[in-house]
């Protein structure tokens, strides 16, 4: 990046040099050192989870001391029926949440990014409130709502609740992607005789697909990780976080850490593949 | 709030038939309709009915009558003011600590990250790939009284045998801070990245030393990121009960746990609703005060 201001002659030849040198020093030692310290702090629980998923813990419960390495828990990862079923529930709900949120959120993102209309500000406030509202309040209000209408709580109500908080994130992400697009693309398509419908599917949609996928992945991640809202609307249904939270008092089987490790590795692989695909598309 | 460059000038519509014009005008409504219906039914209406249930009396067996007793709010605040105050204290402490940690991290990535910026950001986001409850559990094991850290320190005689971290306030704040760090780094990074480096250079040329250039130029320009992060982290942390339940003890009860208990243990739905409403009202006031103190521009910029 060429910097025009830096090419101007310095007003005072002696002073800025010392200032700049001191700043460079601080930025080249202190800040990176701090960054890497924070990163160590960040990965401590992750490393703990991965290492202790191999721990030969007695009684099939996670212990905080090392008893030797074993791959028992990996070979018996699905041995606990309730936990496996909870994980299946979580994956299914997260997948459906992502799909429904993408279908509902993308058109709204289109309307918010491309049109001026009555009620747009109110919609903005609603999106903002949905993002900012604390989970306990959202969960409690949904439970009150379901109780009032006598709707039985279960997997369906979990899905309904998850879409209610995930859809706005799809709107925000897709809208940001749309805002970055050049409007003249629409005009060019129209000049070439495309109807708005055709122009959308042939020109705009392919360009915002990465945004839709990113929004969907965000919705998936938030759904599979949600505990607080789910705990209110779950009834007797059990998801992975609910199961683990429920097991805190009785003791956590190492399979929980195994599943966590597998999800961690899988998530990183997906993220890396997505990044590589994106950079290749842009290249 | 309007994104620059997206608002198209009203097209000359004279050549369009009334039908086409109507179609064009209704497009944004048709596009928004599915999400609107969904969010109104499953977000706005339940949120408003919390307020309605809060002024009702009754229990699940006999049903509720809407008596309009506003006194429920005072009872709620009066009974649980200790937990309310504690929740806000934990929320403020964890938000401020997270900001103090996240700011240098975001600043370094944005200004000195070079071409590895996305790699560094990816590192910051690593916790997102591990379930929230597992991360918190891992801390519980690491910080436990005879665990890896405290156990060894005690064996070496560096700590007294009855020293403990778990079930103290600081354990809860530790967990809240850890879990909110990525949520604070991201908006800060976005805001700092947008700062024009030449403005900083200009401040230096005008004899601002590094601290002053930071306080008078860089920090004010990153205010939208500070606000966005504050909103995400503070609101989440005040309402959280998972960190408190896993890392805390009986002396760290937060309002989220109280709401949870009112619903499931005591089945006192009006009390739970009143507490939810009170929590939300206080949060709205807090956000409003923040915006008034530090300027409303940051809010508008965030929502744009």
Residues of chain B contacting A165 with CB distance shorter than 8 Å: 43
Task: Find the range with the poorest average confidence among B61-70, B193-202, B266-275.
Answer: B61-70
Return the structure tokens found at A116: 């001026």
Does A7 reside within a domain?
A: no
CATH number of the domain within which A91 lies: 1.10.3720.10
Neighbours of A236 (CB within 10 A): 8
Residues in chain A within 8 Å Cβ distance of B212: none
Of the pLDDT bands very low, low, confident and very high (cuts 50, 70, 90), residue B63 is low
How far is A214 from chain B, CA to nearest CA, in Å? 14
- A-chain CB neighbours of B272 within 8 Å are 140, 144
Say what the pLDDT of residue A283 is. 56
Q: Stretch B267-271: mean pLDDT, rounded?
A: 82
Read out DSSP for B217-230? IIHHHTHHHHHHHH
Span B214-234, pLDDT tens digits:
888 888 888 888 988 888 899
A260 contacts B130? CB cut-off 8 A: yes
CA gyration radius, chain B: 25
Q: Does A247 touch chain B (CB under 8 A)?
A: no
Find the closest chain A residue to B128 by CA distance. Answer: A221
Name the band, by pLDDT with cuts 50, 70 and 90, for residue B173: very high
Neighbours of A31 (CB within 10 A): 17
B123-159 pLDDT tens trace: 999 998 999 999 999 999 888 887 777 877 787 877 7
User: Is A67 part of a structural domain of the chain?
Assistant: no
* Inter-chain touch B105–A130, beta carbons under 8 Å: no
Q: Is the model's pTM score more than 0.90?
A: no
Ramachandran quadrant class, B5 (left: phi over 0; alpha: psi -120 to 50; beta: rest): left
The number of helices, as runs of H, and strands, as runs of E, in chain B is 15, 2
Q: Does A46 map to a domain?
A: no
Closest CA to A220 of B227, B247, B188, B131: B131
Residue B88 CB neighbour total at 10 angstroms = 19
- CA distance, residue A74 to nearest chain B CA (Å): 17
End-to-end CA distance of chain B: 4
pLDDT at B124: 93
In contact, A61 and A80? CB cutoff 8 Å: no
Q: Which of B170, B162, B137 is nearest to B251 (CA)?
A: B170
| Nearest Cα to Cα of residue B303 among B209, B215, B227, B211 | B227
- Please give the Cα distance from A37 to B104 (Å, whole number): 12
User: Chain B partners of A12 at a C-beta cutoff of 8 Å?
Assistant: 207
In CATH terms, the fold of domain B73-303 is MetI-like fold (1.10.3720)
CA atoms within 13 A on the CB side of B218: 24
pLDDT along chain A (283 residues), means of 10: 46 48 64 94 94 85 81 87 93 97 95 88 89 90 88 94 95 89 83 86 88 91 93 93 90 92 91 80 62
Question: What's the length of chain A?
Answer: 283
Interface A–B counts its CB contacts (< 8 A) at 276
Average pLDDT along chain B? 83
Q: What is the CA radius of gyration of chain A?
A: 25
Q: Which residue of B has its CA nearest to A159?
A: B42
Which candidate, A126, A20, A77, A46, places its Cα nearest to that of A254? A77
User: Chain centroid to CA B213: how far?
Assistant: 29
Q: Would you say B242 and B19 are in contact if contact means Cβ atoms under 8 Å apart?
A: no
What pLDDT does A132 receive? 84
pLDDT(B81) > 50: yes
Helix extents (H) in B113-207: 117-125, 132-143, 148-155, 169-193, 197-205
Smallest Cβ distance to A268: which of B129, B141, B205?
B129
Q: Residue A181: inside a domain, yes or no?
A: yes
Q: Is residue A43 part of a domain?
A: no
Nearest to A21 by CA among B192, B219, B105, B210: B210
Which DSSP string do the residues of A88-111 spell out, in sequence order?
HHHHHHHHHHHHHHHHHHHHHHHH
Of B202, B216, B209, give the one whose Cα is nearest residue A4.
B202
**Has residue A38 been placed in a domain?**
no
Q: Quick check: B197 and A3 CB within 8 A?
A: yes
**Does an H or E element contain A144, and which?**
helix A135-148
Number of domains in chain A: 1
Report the distance separating Cα B32 and Cα A108, nearest Å.
4
CB B72 within 8 A of CB B275: no
Angle between helices B269-294 and B223-239 (to 10 degrees): 160
The string of pLDDT tens digits covering residues A11-38 is: 444 444 455 555 556 557 888 999 999 9
Per-residue pLDDT of A92-136, as tens digits, reads: 999 999 999 999 999 999 999 888 888 888 998 899 889 888 999
HSE at residue B261, side-chain half, CA atoms within 13 A, is 10
Return the residue matching tokens 């991201």.
B186
In this prediction, residue A24 carries a pLDDT of 57
Enclosing domain of residue A248 = 81-252
Which string of b and e fits B250-269 if b means at least 16 CB within 10 Å?
A: eebbbbbbbbbbbbeeeebb
Sorted by where each begins, the domain ranges of chain B are 1-54, 73-303
Do residue B45 and residue A268 have CB atoms under 8 angstroms apart?
Answer: no
Alpha carbon of A207: minimum distance to chain B alpha carbons (Å): 16
């Amino acid at each position: 990046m060429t910097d025009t201001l830096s090419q101007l002659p310095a007003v005072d030849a002696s002073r800025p040099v010392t200032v700049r040198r001191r700043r460079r020093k601080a930025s080249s030692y202190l800040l990176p050192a701090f960054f890497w310290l924070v990163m160590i702090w960040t990965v401590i629980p992750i490393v703990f989870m991965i290492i202790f998923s191999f721990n030969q813990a007695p009684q099939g419960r996670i212990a905080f001391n090392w008893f030797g390495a074993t791959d028992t828990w990996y070979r018996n990862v699905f041995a606990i029926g309730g936990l496996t079923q909870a994980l299946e529930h979580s994956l299914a709900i997260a997948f459906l949440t992502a799909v429904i949120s993408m279908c509902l959120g993308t058109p709204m993102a289109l309307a918010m990014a491309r049109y001026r209309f009555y009620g747009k500000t109110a919609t903005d406030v609603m999106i903002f409130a949905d993002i900012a509202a604390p989970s306990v309040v959202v969960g409690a209000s949904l439970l009150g709502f379901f109780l009032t209408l006598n709707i039985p709580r279960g997997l369906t109500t979990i899905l309904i609740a998850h879409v209610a908080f995930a859809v706005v994130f799809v709107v925000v992400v897709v809208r940001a992607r749309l805002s970055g697009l050049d409007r003249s693309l629409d005009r060019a398509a129209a000049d070439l005789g495309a109807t708005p419908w055709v122009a959308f599917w042939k020109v705009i949609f392919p360009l915002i697909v990465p945004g839709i996928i990113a929004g969907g992945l965000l919705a998936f991640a938030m759904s599979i990780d949600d505990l607080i809202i789910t705990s209110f609307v779950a009834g007797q249904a059990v998801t992975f976080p609910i199961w683990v939270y429920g097991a805190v008092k009785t003791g956590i089987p190492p399979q929980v850490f195994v599943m966590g490790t597998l999800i961690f590795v899988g998530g990183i692989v997906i993220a890396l593949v997505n990044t590589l695909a994106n950079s290749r598309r842009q290249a | 709030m309007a994104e620059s460059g997206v608002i198209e000038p009203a097209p000359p519509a004279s050549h369009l038939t009334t039908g086409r014009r109507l179609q064009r005008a209704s497009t944004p409504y048709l596009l928004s309709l599915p999400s609107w219906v969904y969010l109104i039914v499953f977000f706005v209406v339940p949120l408003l009915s919390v307020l309605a249930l809060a002024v009702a009396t009754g229990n699940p067996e006999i049903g509720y009558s809407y008596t309009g007793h506003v006194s429920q709010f005072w009872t709620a605040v009066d009974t649980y003011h200790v937990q309310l105050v504690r929740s806000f204290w934990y929320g403020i402490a964890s938000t401020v600590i997270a900001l103090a940690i996240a700011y240098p991290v975001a600043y370094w990535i944005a200004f000195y990250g070079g071409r590895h910026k996305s790699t560094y950001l990816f590192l910051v986001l690593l916790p997102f790939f591990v379930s929230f409850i597992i991360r918190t559990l891992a801390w519980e094991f690491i910080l436990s009284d005879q665990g890896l850290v405290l156990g060894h320190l005690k064996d070496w005689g560096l700590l007294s045998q009855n020293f403990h971290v778990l079930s103290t306030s600081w354990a809860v704040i530790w967990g809240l801070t850890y879990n909110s760090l990525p949520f604070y780094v991201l908006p800060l990074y976005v805001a700092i990245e947008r700062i024009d480096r030449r403005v900083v250079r200009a401040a230096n040329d005008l004899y601002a030393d590094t601290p002053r250039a930071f306080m008078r130029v860089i920090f004010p320009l990153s205010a939208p990121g500070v606000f966005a992060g504050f909103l995400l982290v503070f609101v989440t942390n005040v309402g959280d009960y998972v960190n408190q339940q896993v890392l805390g003890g009986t002396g760290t009860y937060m309002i989220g746990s109280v709401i949870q208990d009112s619903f499931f243990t005591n089945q006192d739905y009006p009390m739970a609703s009143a507490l939810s409403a009170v929590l939300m009202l206080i949060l709205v006031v807090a956000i409003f005060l923040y915006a008034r103190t530090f300027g409303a521009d940051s809010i508008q910029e965030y929502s744009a």
